[in-house]
Amino acid sequence: MSLRITEIFYSLQGESNTVGYPTVFVRLTGCPMRCSYCDTAYAFHGGKKVEITEILNEVKQYRVKHVTVTGGEPLAQPECHTLMTALCDAGYRVSLETGGAMSINEVDQRVYVVLDIKTPASNEEPNNRYENLDFIKPSDCFKFVICNKEDYEWSKQFVADRSLSDKCDVFFSPSADQQSPTELADWIVKDQLSVRMQIQLHKLLWANEAGR
């Protein structure tokens, strides 16, 4: 069984609850969404078919506990589920970064899901699958990429209406080059939101280098 892979690389996790951990990233090719702020458009096409056993062997080259399956949109390839289960069986702490347009219902329960709720400025808000909210575990998290004040107000209301902070961690992250991190932090503090402010560590360290 194989998957189309754009790249496999080793770096520090820059987001969510595992931020800062040395991590192997398995970036799958393809995505049905076209977010306005996407920084991985190179993963939309191309890639190469790689057997799952080969992926596991490459991951084993690194002395890590954490593996992140990302994209593109990893769940666009059904075999992604087999890969994540194989990684969990091998003893890794596996996280999935998903854009929310695909169902997470069948994701292995051992996987830490980072579910991106698309905001209006992403231009993909109509493609959110809101039934995914019912499949989130307390150990998972929601992520909102904030592009402007309108996105912030929409996200604030969305979190409040659905009591998302009672389900799991909620991250608000400023879109790079669009939303001031300081301004977003000020809004969160002023409104006393029960969310976590997040700045992408890898972009601070490596200034948007590809593959980091």
pLDDT at 95 exceeding the cut of 50 = yes
This prediction's pTM: 0.93
Q: How confident is the model at residue 206 (pLDDT cuts 50, 70, 90)?
A: confident
How many CB atoms sit inside 10 A of residue 75's CB? Answer: 24
Question: Which CATH number fits the domain that encloses residue 135?
Answer: 3.20.20.70
On the question of a cis peptide bond just before residue 47, with omega within 30 degrees of 0, the verdict is no
| 174 within a domain of the structure (yes/no) | yes
Residue 188 has phi, psi (to 5 degrees) of -60, -45
Task: Give the bridge partners for 143, in sequence order.
Answer: 116, 171
| 43 within a domain of the structure (yes/no) | yes
| 21 within a domain of the structure (yes/no) | yes
Q: How far apart are CA 143 and CA 163, in angstroms?
A: 14
Q: Per the structure block, which two tokens stand in for 114?
A: 């980072």
pLDDT at 177: 84
Q: Encode pLDDT of 127-145 as tens digits.
A: 999 999 999 999 999 999 9
| 211 within a domain of the structure (yes/no) | no
Domain membership of residue 91 as a residue range = 2-206
| 212 within a domain of the structure (yes/no) | no
Q: How confident is the model at residue 44 (pLDDT cuts 50, 70, 90)?
A: very high
pLDDT at 203: 77
Task: Give the bridge partners for 145, in sequence order.
Answer: 173
Length of the chain: 212
| 62 within a domain of the structure (yes/no) | yes
pLDDT at 201: 83
pLDDT at 208 exceeding the cut of 60 = no
pLDDT at 211 exceeding the cut of 70 = no
pLDDT at 119 exceeding the cut of 90 = yes
pLDDT at 209 exceeding the cut of 80 = no
The structural domain count of the chain equals 1
pLDDT at 27: 98
| 154 within a domain of the structure (yes/no) | yes
Q: How far apart are CA 72 and CA 45, in angstroms?
A: 9
Section 124-128 average pLDDT: 95
pLDDT at 210 exceeding the cut of 60 = no
| 22 within a domain of the structure (yes/no) | yes
Section 36-51 average pLDDT: 93
Arithmetic mean of pLDDT over the chain? 94
CA diameter of the chain: 51
Q: Encode pLDDT of 152-195 as tens digits.
A: 999 999 999 999 999 999 999 999 889 999 999 999 999 999 99
